[in-house]
């Protein structure tokens, strides 16, 4: 047992004294209806594959500035954490194009899957609930969801009339680690058959504080070794000057993470017509985000920088010019999005027809210094899905759908590692479900054609994809259910995987695509066990997936533009792991019910030639909670094990154990719904680094952070 774990455990001994529970949904939430995944209505408890829902008080406690950081305590979920401004979810070790982030069932239509420094154009502060589907969820949403689905549901298109004609919410928040401040509000009001919706959010943070050095101990040790080797080739005078400069550089990177500031605004207006047989709604959304890239510096003065290093004198004037040339990289993101949602109910064999559509115009500018444009990414695209739901007949229900996607993507500037490209996709799918008493069967199939076009060379590459899944579960008793799913899915390579050819400065790689890549095929199985009875529950999900032609970036050992070359390649691979959740009521103390919970998750991923990069390690989240009518108090221990199963270019990551505290106060019943949340994250101010992050060795997680928010619903 490591020092980090012992330190955290000793500060939270009460937490680890309980070993039979999990931080997941409360038992009362197991019957909550999920809208993501199958178009056939089902609850969390009925789902065969791994599903979790973040909503209500739990969402308020976990809310962060990015989707990735908001969800990283959910089962099977970690994050890319590219600083405070950009963090995308990773599900069971899968990220990028294999995890789709949706807003109300339609893709985010941004550039976040192209690079980890690109933020997701979605606002977690406006979410009413966020649904997470682990496993093969692509059959409804496309092959780019083969690793899992994140659906942010924010109510921007009302589907029913508000109670008493008006619904609204407001929240104000602050955080200490980054001097963060946030305000968010929403309003729905009805007028005849129309319901109008408005919401807005503004959030701003400064550079966040860190427990120590920005660089990890492992990286500093490697740099010291390299620095020592270089010093042996210099005279004593040069050695003293270099060492002094190195120490000054380290001193500047201590206690606060430079260039980690963020600012974002979000504004939405929508209107729906609510009729007796259905609804039709439309919403316009504007999202802007400006944030810094920690450790990232502009490269506009590279030639001057190189010339200075070729000069053996290295005088102070040249050194000053060099430092002046290194400007911090900041990103300005802007998206305008239009969404349409409609549903119509029928009395015949087709019970319901529903439509989801979205169009977005997205721009992402990387500034190499104040006002100095480096690279401009744009993405104009749309997605539409039409579904027909068959009325249940003798336990049999079904749904049929068609999906269209179009993406026009370009990158212009120094980091244009991928040429302008176009993607067109059409998918046809069906879901089938049969209930036979205590036995339930499900099946789904999808055909998809994806066409990728290089707009520079006019090269077209087309892929025909076919995916199927089948599963079932059995009610052993009222308290116990067992189930499983088998699947075979296919995914087309992305335009980045096919056509990349250039420096990718954010990840410090020179990326090379391969236009000869074939489609990726996954064959897998997932097993599930659920037991809940009285005041306790346990859920176990275990999975294994075997990939043929798994596409990933492999280091070649060569250099281009002073960057290591990474080649997209296809190789056989396997992913296996589990999530275990459990919870129970322990006792009562006065008006409080004392509960305990635990979440453990693990994934192991490798190819035939070795380990895959940035795979999350074993992690455990265990907590104890006291809840009454007006108060909820929670303490938890968040532990991540050391990750030393790494690819050749990776640095292993040390383990960490963070202690977090939460407190919620609710206004008395029969008064306005007001809640006050206070939390202390990373109570012991420990150095923690996520192995899934490209920046893990130069950007630790924030230090001790006191968060506060007060919210009201009316």
- Which tens digits make up the pLDDT trace of 495-515? 999 999 998 877 888 999 999
Flag the least confident range among 228-242, 252-266, 289-303, 550-564: 228-242
Reported as type and span, the H/E element at residue 324 is helix 316-325
**Distances, alpha carbon 47 to alpha carbons 94, 423, 584, in Å:** 21, 32, 21
What gap in Å lies between CA 199 and CA 286, rounded to an integer? Answer: 11
Number of domains observed in the structure of the chain: 1
Whether residue 471 lies inside any domain: the answer is: yes
Mean pLDDT, rounded, for 339-362: 96
Residues ≥6 apart with Cβ < 8 Å to 402: 385, 386, 426, 427, 428, 429
pLDDT digits (tens, 9 = 90+) for 415-440: 788 899 999 999 999 999 999 988 99
**Residue 624 pLDDT:** 97
Q: What is the dihedral of CA 322, 325, 326, 332, to 10 degrees?
A: 180
Under 8 Å between Cβ of 53 and 44? yes
Q: Is the pLDDT of residue 391 over 70?
A: yes
For 483, counting Cβ atoms within 10 Å of its Cβ (0-12 exposed, 13-18 middle, 19+ buried), the class is buried
What gap in Å lies between CA 26 and CA 528, rounded to an integer? Answer: 18
Whether residue 304 lies inside any domain: the answer is: yes
In the chain, the N- to C-terminal Cα span, in Å, equals 49
**Residue 414 pLDDT:** 75
What DSSP designation does 394 have? Answer: T
**Residue 445 pLDDT:** 95
What gap in Å lies between CA 355 and CA 105, rounded to an integer? Answer: 10
Q: Is the pLDDT of residue 656 over 50?
A: yes
**Residue 712 pLDDT:** 93
Whether residue 225 lies inside any domain: the answer is: no
Q: Is the pLDDT of residue 664 over 90?
A: yes
Cα angle 257, 258, 264; round to 5: 95
What gap in Å lies between CA 211 and CA 306, rounded to an integer? Answer: 34
Q: 223 or 428: whose pLDDT is higher?
A: 428
**Residue 279 pLDDT:** 97
**Residue 627 pLDDT:** 95
**Residue 47 pLDDT:** 74
Q: Is the pLDDT of residue 19 over 80?
A: no
What gap in Å lies between CA 142 and CA 139, rounded to an integer? Answer: 6
pLDDT band of 665, cuts 50, 70, 90: very high
Residues ≥6 apart with Cβ < 8 Å to 224: none
Mean pLDDT, rounded, for 544-572: 92
pLDDT digits (tens, 9 = 90+) for 39-72: 887 777 777 778 889 998 899 899 999 999 999 9
Range of the domain at 145: 3-7+14-215+253-713
pLDDT band of 31, cuts 50, 70, 90: low
Helices (H), 578-629: none
Mean pLDDT, rounded, for 173-178: 97
Flag the least confident range among 28-42, 330-344, 641-655: 28-42
Flag the least confident range among 135-144, 313-322, 444-453, 687-696: 313-322
Q: Is the pLDDT of residue 75 over 80?
A: yes
Flag the least confident range among 73-77, 107-111, 224-228, 260-264: 224-228
What gap in Å lies between CA 423 and CA 449, rounded to an integer? Answer: 11
Mean pLDDT, rounded, of the chain: 87
For 344, counting Cβ atoms within 10 Å of its Cβ (0-12 exposed, 13-18 middle, 19+ buried), the class is middle
Q: Shortest CA distance to 519 belongs to which of 552, 546, 492?
A: 492
pLDDT band of 707, cuts 50, 70, 90: very high
pLDDT band of 223, cuts 50, 70, 90: confident
Mean pLDDT, rounded, for 387-391: 96
Whether residue 56 lies inside any domain: the answer is: yes
Q: How many CA atoms lie within 13 A of 192 on its CB side?
A: 3
What gap in Å lies between CA 211 and CA 217, rounded to an integer? Answer: 12
pLDDT band of 160, cuts 50, 70, 90: very high
Q: Shortest CA distance to 256 belongs to which of 300, 302, 213?
A: 213
Reported as type and span, the H/E element at residue 490 is strand 480-491
pLDDT band of 368, cuts 50, 70, 90: confident
- Strand pairing class (520-533; 439-454): unpaired
What gap in Å lies between CA 82 and CA 507, rounded to an integer? Answer: 10
What gap in Å lies between CA 210 and CA 687, rounded to an integer? Answer: 7
What gap in Å lies between CA 652 and CA 644, rounded to an integer? Answer: 5
**Residue 322 pLDDT:** 42
What gap in Å lies between CA 71 and CA 89, rounded to an integer? Answer: 7
What gap in Å lies between CA 150 and CA 140, rounded to an integer? Answer: 13
Q: Is the pLDDT of residue 522 over 50?
A: yes
Q: Is the pLDDT of residue 403 over 50?
A: yes
Mean pLDDT, rounded, for 324-342: 87
Proportion of the chain above pLDDT 90, given as a percent: 70
3-class secondary structure per residue, 203-258:
EEECCCEEEEECCCHHHHHHHHHHHHHHHCCCCHHHHHHHHHHHHHHHHHCEEECC
What DSSP designation does 497 have? Answer: H
Tell me which range, 52-56, 401-405, 479-483, 533-537, is most confidently predicted by mean pLDDT: 401-405
pTM confidence score: 0.89
pLDDT band of 30, cuts 50, 70, 90: low
Whether residue 92 lies inside any domain: the answer is: yes
Cβ density class 302-338: b for 16+ within 10 Å, e for less: eeebeebeeeeeeeeebeeebeebebbbbbbbebebe
Mean pLDDT, rounded, for 322-340: 82
What gap in Å lies between CA 552 and CA 305, rounded to an integer? Answer: 33
What DSSP designation does 643 have? Answer: B
Whether residue 293 lies inside any domain: the answer is: yes
Q: Is the pLDDT of residue 22 over 50?
A: no
Flag the least confident range among 114-123, 189-198, 257-266, 578-587: 114-123
Q: 298 or 336: whose pLDDT is higher?
A: 336
pLDDT band of 230, cuts 50, 70, 90: low
Mean pLDDT, rounded, for 113-131: 91
Whether residue 332 lies inside any domain: the answer is: yes
CATH number of domain containing 266 = 2.40.170.20
Proportion of the chain above pLDDT 70, given as a percent: 87
Q: Cα 151 from chain centroid?
A: 10
Q: Shortest CA distance to 296 belongs to which of 81, 79, 121, 508?
A: 508
Q: What share of the chain is helix, strand, coil (3-state, %, to 5)?
A: 15, 55, 30
Whether residue 333 lies inside any domain: the answer is: yes
């Amino acid at each position: 047992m490591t020092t980090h774990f012992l330190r955290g455990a000793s500060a939270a001994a009460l937490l680890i004294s309980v070993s039979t529970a999990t931080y997941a949904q409360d038992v009362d939430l197991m019957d909550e209806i999920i809208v993501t995944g199958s178009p056939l209505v089902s609850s969390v408890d009925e789902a065969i594959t791994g599903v979790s829902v973040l909503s209500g008080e739990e969402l308020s406690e976990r809310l962060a500035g990015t989707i990735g950081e908001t969800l990283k305590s959910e089962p099977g979920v970690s994050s890319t954490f590219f600083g405070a401004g950009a963090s995308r979810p990773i599900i069971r070790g899968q990220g990028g194009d294999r995890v789709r982030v949706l807003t109300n069932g339609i893709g985010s239509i941004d550039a976040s899957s192209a690079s980890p420094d690109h933020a997701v154009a979605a606002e977690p502060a406006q979410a009413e609930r966020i649904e997470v589907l682990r496993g093969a969820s692509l059959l409804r949403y496309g092959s780019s969801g083969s690793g899992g689905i994140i659906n942010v549901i924010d109510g921007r298109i009302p589907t029913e009339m508000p109670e008493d004609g008006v619904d609204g919410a407001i929240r104000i928040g602050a955080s200490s680690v980054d001097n963060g401040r946030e305000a968010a509000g929403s309003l729905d009001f009805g007028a005849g058959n129309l319901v109008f919706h408005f919401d807005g959010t503004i959030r701003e943070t400064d550079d966040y504080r860190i427990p120590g050095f920005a660089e990890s101990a492992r990286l500093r040790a490697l740099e010291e070794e390299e620095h020592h080797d270089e010093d042996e080739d210099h005279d004593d005078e040069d050695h003293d000057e270099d060492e002094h400069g190195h120490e000054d550089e380290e001193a500047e990177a201590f206690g606060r993470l430079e260039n980690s500031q963020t600012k974002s605004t979000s504004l939405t207006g929508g209107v729906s017509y609510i009729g007796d047989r259905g609804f039709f709604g439309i919403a316009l959304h504007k999202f802007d985000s400006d944030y810094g890239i920690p450790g990232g510096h502009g490269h506009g003065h590279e030639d001057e920088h190189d010339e200075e290093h070729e000069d053996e004198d290295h005088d102070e004037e040249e050194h000053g010019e060099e430092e002046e040339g290194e400007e911090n990289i900041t990103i300005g993101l802007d998206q305008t999005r239009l969404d349409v949602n409609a549903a119509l109910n029928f009395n015949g064999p087709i019970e319901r027809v529903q439509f989801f559509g979205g169009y977005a115009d997205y721009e992402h500018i990387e500034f190499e210094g104040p006002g100095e444009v480096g690279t401009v990414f744009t993405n104009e695209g749309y997605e539409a899905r039409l579904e027909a739901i068959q009325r249940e007949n003798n336990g049999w229900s079904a749904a049929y759908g068609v999906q269209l996607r179009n993406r026009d993507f370009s990158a212009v500037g120094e980091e244009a590692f991928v040429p302008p490209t176009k993607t067109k996709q059409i998918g046809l799918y069906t879901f089938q479900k049969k209930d036979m008493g205590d036995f339930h069967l499900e099946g789904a199939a999808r055909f998809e054609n994806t066409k990728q076009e290089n707009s520079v060379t006019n090269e077209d590459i087309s892929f025909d994809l076919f995916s199927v899944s089948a599963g079932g579960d059995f009610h052993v008793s009222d308290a116990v259910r067992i189930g499983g799913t088998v699947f075979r899915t296919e995914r087309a390579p992305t335009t980045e995987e096919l056509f990349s050819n250039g420096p990718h400065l954010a990840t410090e790689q020179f990326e090379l695509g391969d236009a000869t890549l074939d489609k990726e095929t996954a064959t897998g199985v997932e097993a599930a066990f659920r037991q809940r009875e009285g005041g306790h529950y346990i859920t176990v999900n275990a999975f294994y997936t075997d990939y043929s032609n798994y596409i990933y970036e492999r280091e070649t050992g060569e250099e281009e533009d002073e960057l290591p070359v990474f080649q997209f390649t296809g190789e056989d691979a396997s992913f296996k792991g589990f999530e275990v959740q459990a919870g129970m009521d322990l006792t009562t103390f006065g008006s409080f019910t004392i509960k305990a919970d635990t979440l453990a998750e693990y994934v192991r991923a490798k190819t035939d030639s070795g380990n895959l990069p940035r795979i999350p390690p074993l992690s455990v989240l265990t907590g104890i909670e006291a809840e009454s009518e007006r108060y909820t108090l929670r303490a938890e221990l968040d532990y991540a094990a050391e990750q030393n199963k790494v690819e050749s270019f990776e640095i292993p990551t040390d383990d960490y154990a963070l202690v977090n505290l939460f407190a919620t106060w609710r206004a008395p019943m029969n008064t306005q719904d007001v809640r006050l949340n206070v939390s202390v994250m990373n109570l012991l101010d420990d150095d923690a680094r996520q192995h899934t992050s490209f920046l893990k060795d130069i950007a630790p997680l924030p230090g001790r952070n006191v968060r506060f928010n007060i919210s009201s619903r009316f």
